[in-house]
Structure 1
Amino acid sequence: SYTKSKGPDNSIVWTPIAVAVFLVAVATLCKEQGITVVGICCVYEVFIAQGYTFPVLWDTTLQILMGKGSIPYSMLQTLLKLIVLMFSTLLLVVVRVQVIQSQLPVFTRFDNPAAVSTTPARQLTFNYLLPVNAWLLLNPSELCCDWTMGTIPLIESILDIRNLATLLFYFLLGYLIVFSVRYSGDSSKTVLMALCLIILPFIPASNLFFPVGFVVAERVLYVPSMGFCMLVAHGWKKLSSNGRLRTLSWIFLALVVFTHAIKTFNRNWDWESEYTLFTSALKVNKNNAKLWNNVGHALENEKNYERALRFFKKATEVQPDDIGAHMNVGRTYKNLNRSKEAEESYLIAKALMPQVIPGKKYAARVAPNHLNVYINLANLIRANESRLEEADQLYRQAISMRPDFKQAYISRGELLLKMNKPLEAREAYIKALELDRMNADLWYNLAIVYIELKDPSEALRNFNQALELNPRHKLALFNSALLMQESGSARLRPEAKRRLLTYVEEEPHDANGYFNLGMLAMDEKKDTEAEVWMKKAIQLHHCFRSALFNLALLYSQTSRELEALPVLDELLRFYPDHSKGLILKGDILMNQKKDIKGAKKCFEKIVEMDPNNVQGKHNLCVVYFEERDLIKAEKCLVETLALAPHEEYIQRHLSIVRGKIMALNTAGQSVPPKEGALTLPEQKKIQKKKKKKKKKKKKKKKKK
């Protein structure tokens, strides 16, 4: 676009310039290197479009300074273009600084060891990295996905042999720059543009203006490789134009293309997965702890914790002071349920953390992810109920080091709930929300706190806030619907149903969603719909305790007691001590099937499990009454009334039993102890018959 900014009459065409500036802005938003295109445009304008050379510019400048001439009009046009381009660049830089809030990213000494080294190691190493990058362009054989940490040892002495590579690089670069700006031929212009594409996009990654988070990064060589290819192509063109070297140049070109094609093909297999990528990097460099960690992460993602642990341990051997490596070891031990070893690893990582320096911001000197060592250690030890206070101290320590550490507030809120401190938990979550009000999980957690505080209306408000941010937040959908259902408000039931239906769309294999839909339908007297939902819940979870009981209860309430019995049998097969199930089964057996013995077994089991179960004991009393064992029924009801002295129905039944007993006594009959017992006259007749038989036996003996 920018190449069209010069009109046929050497006038300025502003549209291509505006388009170029817009594209530079878009490129900068994608990657910081995009802003360097402005520098390339400036070089193109001066040396290519206007055709100036350095000697011409130098002579013109001297004449103007000495007052021997004025600025040519064409040069004024060039200056105007350059001013527009530079102003646009400055504006983009200001915007970029505002985006990062005037703070550079936090890097550790492991990311770029040279950046924290002393003089002269810092300068010597940074300068040596330039020929290293040039060598990667010239011979991209030993490629590595990560060049941080100990990949390239520091140059700590001027006598280091690697300094010769730095001197050779600067000599060749200086020669090419002088050649390109001194002469005006096509060859020099080609070399100049190639150098611009190599040098300018590389400047942000060169550590010249600010430290970066890597030693070498192959990705920053993508644009410079375009300039390098231009140099190679230009050099090959020069060679091939020589008659004696033409054949040889073609052979070398074919060889380069063939070898690079083979390398590209083989390299594709390295990128098959994270594991293959990082293991291929270890073939190039075994002194980078980050690579060992990354192989461990790849294995960890595959749940291969034993192998992952070996790589994480190797990382700690390669870089003993790497906090992240020790954290990885601790996390893997935790996944292997080896809590003691996990705690030891976390404590090592914690001991390696930088010490707090009075008057200096701690957050500026430590990588944010390293603070997770406090969170991980606290999460580990809080599994022990006796160490909850110790875990809380770790969370508070992390917060004191970085007051905007959101995860520390979240984890501390969870712990405080576990410690039955909902008010403090609420404060922790409110602080976290001040840092991130768009986090649906935080609003959900705060709602749970309000449930603990017995404030359902505020809990529902926070659930609703979570759902505004994330309409398909599964836990908020389910728990808010449950809260609406428990409120008993008929007005809230349609919304509760809508949320549960959305929940089962998200979690189609969770039986709880279908069960609660069934309970809602029962509340609305939609028995057929309730039956469908309950059966769906049981289908997904065949031993779903609540679903089995409520389906049986539904059958009982809709006069389908006999259909309820097999459901109750299934319930009691899985949960033989289910009191309500036993009561319901006993009622059905006694009232519908007239199976007094079966009902009695159910009620006796309830009383055996819980002698203070009023309903079970009362029903057993009714069984005694049905068996006509009035004395036992009376005694049973007296005991039951002692458990629930204000229950009117027990008093009424006791009065009925006592009335029966009194009526029998008034009639001169003994109280029958159980069903089928003989009356008093019948008992006397039997006794007379027994006496007669005894007399007959005595007479026979006398005759003998």
Structure 2
Amino acid sequence: MELNNNICKPTKHCKNNWKVRFKQWNTQTVILIPVAAAIVCYINSLEGDFLHDDIFAIKSNRDARGESSLSEVFYNDFWGKPMVDKTSHKSYRPITVLTFRWNYYLSGGHPYAFHVTNVLLHAMMTGLLVYTCMDVFLLHSRVCLMTGILFAVHPIHTEAVSGIVGRADVLAGIFFLISFNLYIKSLDVRWQKSSVLVPEVQSLTLLCLSLVCGGLAMLCKEQGITVLGLSALYDVLICSRPGLIRILKGRKLRDGVVSLTKRIGLLCLVGVGFLVFRVWIMNGQMPLFQHQDNPASFSPHFLTRCLTYSCLWMYNGLLLLFPSTLCYDWQVGSIPLVESIYDLRNLATISFCIIMASLMWHWWKSFDCQSTSDATLTSLLLLVLPFLPASNLLFRVGFVLAERVLYIPSTGYCILISQGIHYLLDRFPYRRIHIVSASTLVLLVLIGKTWNQNYTWISRESLFRSGVKTLPHNAKAHYNYANYLKDKGSMAAATDHYQVAVSLYPDNPSAHNNLGTLLSNKTQAEYHFREALILCEDHKGAHVNLGSLMFDRGEQEVGISLLQRALEIDPNYEEAFLALAGMMVETQDWDEADRLFQSALKNNHVSAQAYHNYGTFLHRRGEETQALEFYQRALDVDPGHIVSIIDSARCLKNQGRLVQAEHNLKQALKIKRDDATMDMLGVVYFEMGRSREAILLYEDVLKESPNNTNLLFHYSQVLAKNLEFRKSEVALQQAIRLSPNSIEILTQMSKILGQQARHKEALPYLDHAITVAQRTNDKQALMDLFLQHGDHNKDLQQYSAAVKSFNEALGLGGNTPNVHLNLGALNHIQGKYAEAKQHYLLVLSMDPNHTIARDNLLKLERVLSQENSKL
């Protein structure tokens, strides 16, 4: 190949001209290609919502929402609980929380900005990795490029990048590499040219900055502290390798050893200091994990723990090598415990150990070589050290397997694979087309897998459905999917998945509790609530649900005590406050109910449900204006809180503000088409005088819900108002078939028949309604029914029956001018003048200006005077 003015001209004698062309690529190009790949590969994740842990770490976290002071961020855990709280998860990541806070401030809480930040941080991490490979590890440009692209597109990173809370791993990785780079830069650069046996520190500033960045990495996520171990081992085994070899061969070496010892001592001291700080900030408490979080760590058998842990390490290696099966949660049922040495999975574990041992042997064989670039050792250090905190070797972790924890270790894997491909290209140059083609094909497959996996992180439905599909024996996947279905309103499907979750893992108290909330059989529901409390005596949700069930069953004291216990467990538990307040409303302890609602709002002033429930409380007390104000506050917090939209429309309708009520109902229907909302809109149309629109609306919705009695009832009312009595009667007959004991529907039928002067047909419906009301002892309903019964009998000229009905109404508290007027007129007609006069006088005593009563009384007195004159 001829070189002329920096242009490569291949000759017929040069077979490896592609190598020369590759070497001419500048540093910027080698970095920018993987960075671009990282951005492009995750561009379809930007439309994702807040999912899974994002809800608790961001949406429900006052620290992330910017509602707490900055100082609180440094005293609370990743989820917003004080680190000293015994229920805290003990995950201390204030730097990550501050980035969430920044995103929330800029975007107003919209997830798009969070996802953009995650993708940009992943691109930054990719660029840093390539730079580190080139400038520190001194790897070939081809290896750096392949490492960067492989890291950028590897599907194992989807949880860390597409899942917003995965930012903790990405940020930790960035500070991890910055810290490592600064540490190496702080050393004398001559060691890279093998002119120095043991390098010395040339910049104390860079060394201190390295330690600071190591601390920041730990404050992003706990495993960031392992950068100190990487720096120490890389310093000893690679930077100071010539001097170490000289010492091992028995030769004396004094120059540089003191400096190396000081550096390693400083790293150890700082590492211990970081660990002491972590123990102090946790108040000396370890996180409290449950059996379902990490079953192997709870096994009483040492052999089971050893075999399962090693098997899990093998699974992590397989996920890096073959990322075909990916899931957001690998809890109970995903990977069964290895409880016997005869388990076939042990063969895979042994194979994995042999591979790792072979790699170590390969490095050891070349230990005494004077090479300062050892890709094998570098790969193993990056692969193993950052994974140690998740290995269960040092302490119990709260998961079986988590793809996100492989984000930093995958850097070592990517270097190892890229170095292997580089070796193959050098070893078999005549096969380079096949090797490059195969490598390209693998990368395309990985890109396709990552692109497709990003879609699973777009919504709750796609994420939880993928978990059930990928790991059908994972009880947690079924439980999470059931929670989604429950929130969506698919109660039957949710019940099925809760039952599957309970059958797969009967010891999950939350699955029992949530299943109980969906069961119509109260005995079965109570069983599951009590089972949840047996499994976890401090399960606050089960206390609330069991307490509510007992209260509804009439055991009010027991129910209230259970809810009070829930508040003892968690003094800020919103659901307990709201449920207990509801109980106080039922017992008409209005002051206590008001206090409890106020406490719920004080603890969480961005709770749409709390604002809504307080609004409902005020509405029940007749304070509709104030109720409307709190419904609006709920909508300010959550514009899509459909219950508040509907209830605010109900308030507006009651106040006669029908145009605003119509607007709110149409807004609710855009969110979710619901029969009850359509029904209320029809009523609003009716009250606005738009009967034809109301009729068309009811006819449209009844096509989909022909057996909805409320729709049929209101449809009949509109038709009757429009004088379409025949159609109104048909609708009511259908409603009566569906609800034969509805007093309201039976009464409406009698009214429609009365409007058509079909009083004789109307009476049987009223008789049935009276029977139902007597059975339920509803005195107000009975009084109204007897009044209507009297009116129908009066129109039929069945005066004795009419008098009997009005007397029944009078005995039920119907001591009104209208009742006495009717009784006076009926007695008057029947010639019972004394009784008639008595009733007329009672009317006038109640209303002295009652014209009809006065006129009737005058007529009666003339009749009496005529009779007296005849005598």
Name the TM-score, length of structure 1 as normaliser: 0.63
Aligned counterparts of 1:452 and 1:440: Cα–Cα separation in 2: 18
Partner secondary structure for residue 831 of structure 2: helix
* Stretch of structure 1 that moved more, 392-401 or 567-576: 567-576
Retained in 2: the 8 A contact 1:111–1:148? yes
Aligned counterparts of 2:450 and 2:629: Cα–Cα separation in 1: 57
1:425-444 matches, within 5 Å, as 425-444=593-612
Residue identity in the other structure for 1:171:
A
Q: Which residue of 2 aligns with 1:60?
A: 198
Aligned counterparts of 1:348 and 1:641: Cα–Cα separation in 2: 68
Retained in 1: the 8 A contact 2:169–2:407? no
Partner secondary structure for residue 420 of structure 1: coil
User: What is the CA deviation profile of residues 159-190 of structure 1, one whole-angstrom value per residue up to 9, with x for unaligned ones?
Assistant: 9968856864663464577689986759x355
Aligned counterparts of 1:57 and 1:125: Cα–Cα separation in 2: 47
Q: Which residue of 1 aligns with 2:109?
A: none
1:511-522 matches, within 5 Å, as 511-513=679-681, 515=683
Partner secondary structure for residue 536 of structure 1: helix
Aligned counterparts of 2:696 and 2:817: Cα–Cα separation in 1: 27
Q: Which residue of 1 aligns with 2:416?
A: 231
| Alpha-carbon spacing, 1:219–1:610, altered in 2? closer, same or farther (3 Å) | farther
Retained in 1: the 8 A contact 2:386–2:408? yes
Partner secondary structure for residue 416 of structure 1: helix
1:254-273 matches, within 5 Å, as 254=438, 261=445
User: What is the CA deviation profile of residues 11-42 of structure 1, one whole-angstrom value per residue up to 9, with x for unaligned ones?
Assistant: xxxxxxxx999957998975221212333344
Matched length: 581
Aligned counterparts of 1:497 and 1:181: Cα–Cα separation in 2: 84
Aligned counterparts of 1:451 and 1:514: Cα–Cα separation in 2: 22
Q: Which residue of 2 aligns with 1:600?
A: 795
The match for 2:290 among 108, 113, 126 is 108
Retained in 2: the 8 A contact 1:343–1:380? yes
Partner secondary structure for residue 340 of structure 1: helix
| Alpha-carbon spacing, 1:295–1:499, altered in 2? closer, same or farther (3 Å) | closer
Aligned counterparts of 1:124 and 1:199: Cα–Cα separation in 2: 18
Aligned counterparts of 1:89 and 1:390: Cα–Cα separation in 2: 54
Q: Which residue of 1 aligns with 2:663?
A: 501
| Alpha-carbon spacing, 1:320–1:514, altered in 2? closer, same or farther (3 Å) | closer
| Alpha-carbon spacing, 1:550–1:92, altered in 2? closer, same or farther (3 Å) | farther
Aligned counterparts of 2:749 and 2:490: Cα–Cα separation in 1: 45
The match for 1:400 among 555, 560, 568 is 568
Q: Which residue of 2 aligns with 1:446?
A: 614
Partner secondary structure for residue 631 of structure 1: coil
User: What is the CA deviation profile of residues 574-606 of structure 1, one whole-angstrom value per residue up to 9, with x for unaligned ones?
Assistant: 84535995899599x9xxxxxx99982499797
Task: Determine whether 1:281 maps to 2:460.
Answer: no
Aligned counterparts of 1:653 and 1:413: Cα–Cα separation in 2: 55
Retained in 2: the 8 A contact 1:42–1:85? yes
| Alpha-carbon spacing, 1:457–1:307, altered in 2? closer, same or farther (3 Å) | closer
Cα deviation, residue 133, structure 1? 1.5
| Alpha-carbon spacing, 1:486–1:321, altered in 2? closer, same or farther (3 Å) | closer
| Alpha-carbon spacing, 1:395–1:434, altered in 2? closer, same or farther (3 Å) | same
Cα deviation, residue 407, structure 1? 1.5
Residue identity in the other structure for 1:577:
T
Task: Name structure 1 gaps, 5 residues minimum.
Answer: 5-18, 62-70, 355-361, 363-369, 488-492, 520-529, 556-562, 590-595, 671-704
Partner secondary structure for residue 148 of structure 1: coil
Whichever of the two has the greater Rg, that structure is: 1
| Alpha-carbon spacing, 1:181–1:630, altered in 2? closer, same or farther (3 Å) | farther
Task: Determine whether 1:423 maps to 2:591.
Answer: yes
Retained in 1: the 8 A contact 2:649–2:665? no
Cα deviation, residue 652, structure 1? 0.2
Residue identity in the other structure for 2:846:
H
Residue identity in the other structure for 2:567:
I
Cα deviation, residue 136, structure 1? 3.1
Over the matched positions of the two proteins, sequence identity in percent amounts to 20
The alignment yields a C-alpha RMSD, in angstroms, of 5.8
1:42-441 matches, within 5 Å, as 42-44=179-181, 59-60=197-198, 71=200, 76-77=202-203, 80-91=205-216, 93-94=218-219, 107-115=289-297, 126=309, 129-140=312-323, 146-149=329-332, 151-152=334-335, 168=354, 171-172=357-358, 174-175=360-361, 188=373, 190-191=375-376, 194-195=379-380, 198-199=383-384, 202=387, 205-207=390-392, 211-221=396-406, 224-225=409-410, 227-243=412-428, 250=434, 254=438, 261=445, 274=464, 277-282=467-472, 289-291=475-477, 293=479, 315-316=501-502, 319-327=505-513, 329-331=515-517, 334=519, 337-353=520-536, 370-384=539-553, 386-441=554-609
Residue identity in the other structure for 2:542:
V
| Alpha-carbon spacing, 1:138–1:277, altered in 2? closer, same or farther (3 Å) | same
Aligned counterparts of 1:21 and 1:80: Cα–Cα separation in 2: 28
Aligned counterparts of 1:237 and 1:93: Cα–Cα separation in 2: 34
Cα deviation, residue 645, structure 1? 4.1
Retained in 2: the 8 A contact 1:503–1:513? yes
Aligned counterparts of 1:147 and 1:131: Cα–Cα separation in 2: 15
User: What is the CA deviation profile of residues 467-502 of structure 1, one whole-angstrom value per residue up to 9, with x for unaligned ones?
Assistant: 543466555455556657767xxxxx66x8535532
Name the TM-score, length of structure 2 as normaliser: 0.52
Task: Name structure 2 gaps, 5 residues minimum.
Answer: 1-26, 29-119, 129-159, 223-276, 457-461, 671-676, 699-709, 736-744, 760-790
Partner secondary structure for residue 614 of structure 2: helix
User: What is the CA deviation profile of residues 379-437 of structure 1, one whole-angstrom value per residue up to 9, with x for unaligned ones?
Assistant: 444442x2233222222222212222222222222233233333332232222222201
Cα deviation, residue 306, structure 1? 7.8
Retained in 2: the 8 A contact 1:126–1:207? yes
